[in-house]
């Protein structure tokens, strides 16, 4: 059986590491790149090469930022007494689209999951505790997936917050159990945000 050239195979292997890219798609991507001009390929590889250098994680909220400027922490218009806890930096973008949230974010970097061995010390919880006192936070909105892991993490946070006298509320999902924030449309998310409930 004829095999693809080694460097093309290597590229396919890399594409397959991306979410929802299987073998057939990886092949299509790799062959497509062969049709690109030298300039287009250079541009593509440049952005890959500088990705980690240009896109950084904010040391305060762990959202992503272009070089040193956090779009949230460095915005003086935002309400620092209101914090929204999210699992991944991507979630902030979904919530921003609703135009209903004016506070700051805190990215946990995952959800608690005993099965996948994700424990509290692996999340950005120590940083959260520090921010709660530094920013004099009054309310924390927990915006986590409506899954087992999301629920477990929300419960953990609730205990941490109420022990410090901070109001904890959770998005009022009008959604089936198991839904991920990533796939919720803007309208539903805006309703979930305004209808959040203290728990």
Residue 155: count other Cβ atoms within 10 Å of its Cβ. Answer: 14
Q: How far is the CB of 61 from Zn ion (least distance, A)?
A: 3
Six-digit token pair at 159?
A: 């205990």
Provide the 3-class DSSP secondary structure of residue 56.
Answer: strand
Please provide the DSSP assignment of 156-182 as one string: HHHHHHHTTT-EEEE----S-TTB-GG
47-106 binders of Zn ion (CB under 5 A): 58, 60-61, 63, 70, 72-73
Determine if 108 is a binding residue for Zn ion (CB under 5 A): no
d(Cα 4, Cα 69) in Å, to the nearest integer? 44
Nearer to Zn ion by Cβ, of 30 and 123: the residue is 123
Residue 117: count other Cβ atoms within 10 Å of its Cβ. Answer: 7
d(Cα 69, Cα 171) in Å, to the nearest integer? 28
Nearer to Zn ion by Cβ, of 12 and 63: the residue is 63
Q: How far is the CB of 73 from Zn ion (least distance, A)?
A: 3
Residues in contact with Zn ion, total (CB under 5 A)?
7
Nearer to Zn ion by Cβ, of 63 and 141: the residue is 63
Nearer to Zn ion by Cβ, of 12 and 87: the residue is 87
Q: How far is the CB of 183 from Zn ion (least distance, A)?
A: 25
d(Cα 183, Cα 136) in Å, to the nearest integer? 32
Q: How far is the CB of 105 from Zn ion (least distance, A)?
A: 7
Nearer to Zn ion by Cβ, of 134 and 172: the residue is 134
Residue 33 host element (H or E): helix 23-35
Positions that interact with Zn ion (CB under 5 A): 58, 60-61, 63, 70, 72-73
């Amino acid at each position: 059986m004829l095999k693809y050239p080694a460097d093309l195979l290597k590229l396919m292997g890399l594409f397959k590491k991306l979410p929802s890219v299987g073998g057939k798609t990886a092949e299509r991507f790799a062959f497509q790149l062969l049709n690109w001009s030298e300039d287009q390929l250079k541009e593509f590889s440049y952005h890959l090469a500088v990705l980690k250098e240009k896109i950084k994680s904010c040391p305060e909220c762990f959202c992503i930022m272009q070089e040193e400027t956090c779009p949230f922490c460095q915005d003086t218009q935002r309400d620092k007494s209101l914090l929204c806890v999210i699992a991944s930096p991507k979630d902030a973008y979904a919530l921003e689209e609703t135009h209903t949230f004016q506070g700051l974010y805190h990215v946990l970097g995952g959800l608690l999951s005993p099965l996948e061995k994700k424990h509290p010390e692996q999340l950005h919880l120590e940083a959260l505790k520090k921010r709660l006192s530094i920013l004099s936070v009054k309310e924390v909105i927990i915006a986590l997936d409506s899954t087992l892991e999301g629920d477990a993490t929300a419960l953990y946070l609730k205990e941490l917050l109420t022990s410090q006298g901070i109001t904890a509320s959770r998005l009022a999902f009008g959604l089936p159990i198991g839904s991920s924030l990533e796939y919720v449309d803007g309208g539903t998310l805006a309703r979930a945000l305004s209808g959040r409930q203290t728990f």
